[in-house]
């Protein structure tokens, strides 16, 4: 059996396995936002020993100099013999920032168990947020509500694409594919649980309950539910109600209810965490991510929609995009004379992550180097941000499409509710990305409806916080069930005004 040496470790790999899959299995994740089709070069590695001949995709995506040095696309490299590889930090960046955002909303909770506790010893619950990009989990004491340990890791399903539709398409190609996707995420959840128990000094038998949240696609794939109807219009879920399951290697699972095709249990959990079911004025909750979810509470009703932004906010589909790892440009500003950048860890700039993308567009606009339609001044094809790192015109268009999806969803919900942006009392930004973007830039490029900056509040991983609430409290679980039943889904694609609203949302504020 071939061996792959990476990062001081040796992985045994079955001959014929693609290197990207072998690395994921060995917890050395690489990014494959194109669905491992060899189109994005985000999964490239440096093969220092045993480099095979380049594939056609290698020839298309990598330069002759890179190929000569040993760079290869790991999603196209089929392991047949021993290799030594170095995974580039761009591809290996793990979503660690979710850990910091995990507990942003998790203040004191009135513990009210909804299942019997162990007669003796500690009773512990596992709260798990299954995101498209990453998993965030925590162990909580079911008597005191105390957090015992928390962790975050990439969703290994990313080997089959960064977005939901790629994964759903893969799942519907055969039962074995759907099973593979379920086993990938279940395996990651079990490994996370083992690590959490080790951190907390607990035995697995102390963990008696699991609460899971995720968008509808992640929810269904995690539970092993049929996704055939979810993968095609009109995108019908197999299950909407709260769902109990017994899954191998996990304590009994309760998954919060879904609302609609692409507004899932994570949106219910986020709404629960911020109290959208409680009267408190007009509040807009925006979870910015690959599959954006937007909820609007007016005091009389709660509306929701799904806004498929794609992976641009995570650095996908961006020529030098990357996750928020060392060397990623995370902030850009215009000081009146030129652009100033800040990188993660202060390392030399190697690429740009989502928050830096928003800042870059806002800064280029402020500097007069971009017009209100997103065109770079003078017909330039790219704008240099730092030595070796540039934002291309194509990158700007990708960001405009992503921000247009989010903004048009928010604008359409406001229209349906009969409200104007000025009527909003609060805009809540959820998710890891929403927690780290600069609010001023989000407003400057029109990602959010125009409101005073003081009305915008990042709330961290609200979905994970909602999962914790449902784990600890029977009344919170009941509230989540009621919320899912009363929220009014708005289908953007079939609304007669959506096309014009979306086209307007692509532009930058004048």
pLDDT tens, residue by residue, 396-446: 999 999 999 999 999 999 999 999 999 999 999 998 777 778 999 999 999
For the purposes of burial, counting CB atoms within 10 Å of the CB of 381, is it exposed (0-12), middle (13-18) or buried (19 or more)? exposed
Per-residue model confidence as pLDDT tens digits over 351-365: 999 899 999 999 999
What does the pLDDT average to over 6-22? 88
Helix (H) or strand (E) holding 405: helix 393-417
Distances (CA, A) of 99 to 432, 456, 489: 9, 22, 30
**Residue percentage of the chain with pLDDT more than 70:** 94
| Whole-number Å distance between alpha carbons of 177 and 170 | 6
Three-point CA angle 431, 436, 442, nearest 5° = 95
Rounded to two decimals, the pTM is: 0.77
Please state the rounded mean pLDDT for residues 316-326. Answer: 84
Average pLDDT over residues 216-227: 96
Residue 136 sits at the vertex; the CA angle it makes with 135 and 140, to the nearest 5 degrees, is: 140
For residue 95, the model assigns a pLDDT of 32
Q: What is the pLDDT confidence band of residue 110, given thresholds at 50, 70 and 90?
A: low
Burial of 279 (0-12, 13-18, 19+ CB in 10 A): exposed
Distance in angstroms (rounded) separating the CA atoms of residues 189 and 203: 16
Q: How far is CA 496 from CA 148, 419, 491, in A?
A: 50, 18, 10
The first and second tokens of residue 468, run together, are 């914790």
**How far, in Å, CA of 25 to CA of 287, rounded?**
29
pLDDT tens, position by position, 362-404: 999 999 999 999 999 999 999 999 999 999 999 999 999 999 9
- Give the separation between CA 20 and CA 43, rounded to whole angstroms: 7
- What are the helix (H) ranges across 201-230? 216-223
Q: What is the mean pLDDT of residues 318-339?
A: 89
H or E stretch including 49?
strand 44-49
Per residue in 251-262, pLDDT (tens digit) is 999 999 999 988
Residue 56 above 50 pLDDT? Answer: yes
pLDDT in tens, 444-481: 999 999 999 999 999 888 999 999 999 999 989 999 99
Distance CA 303, CA 475 (A): 22
Written as six digits, the tokens of 154 are 């990439």
Q: Tell which wins on pLDDT, 419 or 288.
A: 419
Distance of CA 390 to the CA centre of its chain: 24
Q: Which domains does the chain have, with CATH numbers?
A: 3-92 (3.10.20.30), 97-271 (3.30.420.480), 274-310+399-464+489-506 (3.30.420), 315-387 (no CATH)
Q: What is the mean pLDDT of residues 201-223?
A: 95
pLDDT computed for residue 100 by the predictor: 37
What confidence tens digit (pLDDT) does each residue in 123-148 have?
999 999 998 888 999 999 998 888 89
Q: Which long-range contacts (CB under 8 A, 24 or more apart) does 451-457 make?
A: 451/421, 451/422, 451/424, 451/427, 455/424, 455/425, 455/426, 455/427, 456/426, 456/427, 456/429, 457/426, 457/427, 457/428, 457/429
Q: What does the alpha-carbon distance between residue 288 and residue 222 come to, in Å, rounded to a whole number?
A: 22
Percentages of the chain per state (helix, strand, coil), in multiples of 5: 35, 25, 40
Per DSSP (E only), the strands in 228-378 are 243-245, 253-255, 283-287, 292-297, 302-307, 328-334, 339-343, 351-352
Average pLDDT, the chain: 88
pLDDT at 493 (0 to 100):
85
Please say if the pLDDT value at position 64 is more than 60: yes
Average of per-residue pLDDT across 27-33: 74
């Amino acid at each position: 059996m071939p061996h792959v040496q990476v990062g001081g470790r040796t992985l045994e790999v079955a001959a014929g396995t693609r290197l990207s899959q072998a690395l994921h299995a060995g917890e050395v994740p690489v990014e494959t936002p194109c669905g491992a089709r060899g189109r994005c070069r985000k999964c490239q590695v440096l093969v220092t020993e045993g480099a095979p001949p380049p594939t056609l995709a290698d020839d298309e995506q990598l330069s002759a100099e890179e190929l000569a040095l040993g760079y290869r696309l790991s999603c196209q490299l089929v392991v047949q013999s021993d290799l030594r590889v170095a995974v580039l930090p761009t591809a290996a960046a793990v979503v660690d920032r979710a850990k910091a955002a995990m507990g942003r909303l998790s203040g004191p909770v009135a513990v009210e168990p909804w299942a019997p506790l162990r007669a003796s010893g500690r009773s512990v619950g596992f709260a798990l947020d299954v995101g498209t990009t990453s998993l965030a989990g925590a162990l909580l004491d079911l008597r005191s509500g105390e957090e015992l340990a928390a962790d975050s890791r990439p969703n290994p399903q990313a080997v089959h694409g960064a977005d939901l539709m790629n994964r759903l398409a893969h799942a519907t190609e055969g039962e074995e594919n759907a099973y593979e996707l379920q086993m990938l995420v279940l395996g990651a959840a079990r490994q996370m649980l083992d690590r959490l128990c080790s951190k907390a000094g607990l035995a697995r038998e102390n963990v008696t309950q699991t609460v899971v949240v995720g968008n509808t696609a992640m929810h269904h794939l995690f539970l092993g539910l049929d996704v055939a109807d979810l993968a095609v219009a009109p995108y019908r879920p197999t299950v909407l109600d709260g769902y109990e399951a017994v899954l191998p290697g996990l304590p009994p699972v309760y998954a919060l209810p879904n609302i609609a095709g692409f507004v899932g249990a994570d949106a219910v959990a986020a709404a629960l965490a911020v109290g959208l079911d409680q009267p408190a004025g007009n509040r807009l909750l925006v979870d910015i991510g690959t599959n954006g979810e937007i909820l609007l509470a007016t005091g009389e009703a709660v509306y929701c929609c799904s806004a498929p932004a794609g992976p641009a906010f995570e650095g996908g589909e961006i020529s030098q995009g990357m996750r928020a790892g060392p060397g990623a440009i995370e902030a850009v500003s215009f000081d009146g004379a030129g652009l100033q950048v800040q990188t993660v860890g202060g390392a030399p700039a190697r690429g740009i992550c989502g928050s830096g993308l928003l800042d870059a567009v806002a800064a280029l606009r402020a500097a007069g180097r971009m017009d209100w339609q997103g065109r770079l001044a003078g017909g330039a094809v790219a704008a240099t941000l730092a030595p070796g790192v540039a934002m291309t015109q194509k990158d700007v268009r990708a960001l405009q499409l992503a921000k247009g999806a989010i903004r048009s969803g928010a604008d359409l919900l406001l229209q349906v509710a009969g409200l104007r942006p000025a009527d909003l009392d609060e805009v809540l930004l959820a998710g890891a990305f929403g927690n780290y973007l600069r609010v001023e830039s989000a407003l400057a490029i029109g990602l959010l409806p125009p409101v005073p900056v003081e009305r915008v509040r990042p709330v961290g991983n609200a979905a994970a916080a909602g999962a914790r609430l449902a784990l600890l409290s029977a009344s919170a679980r009941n509230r989540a069930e009621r919320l899912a039943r009363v929220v009014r889904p708005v289908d953007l694609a079939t609304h007669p005004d959506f096309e014009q609203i979306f086209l307007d949302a692509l532009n930058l504020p004048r």
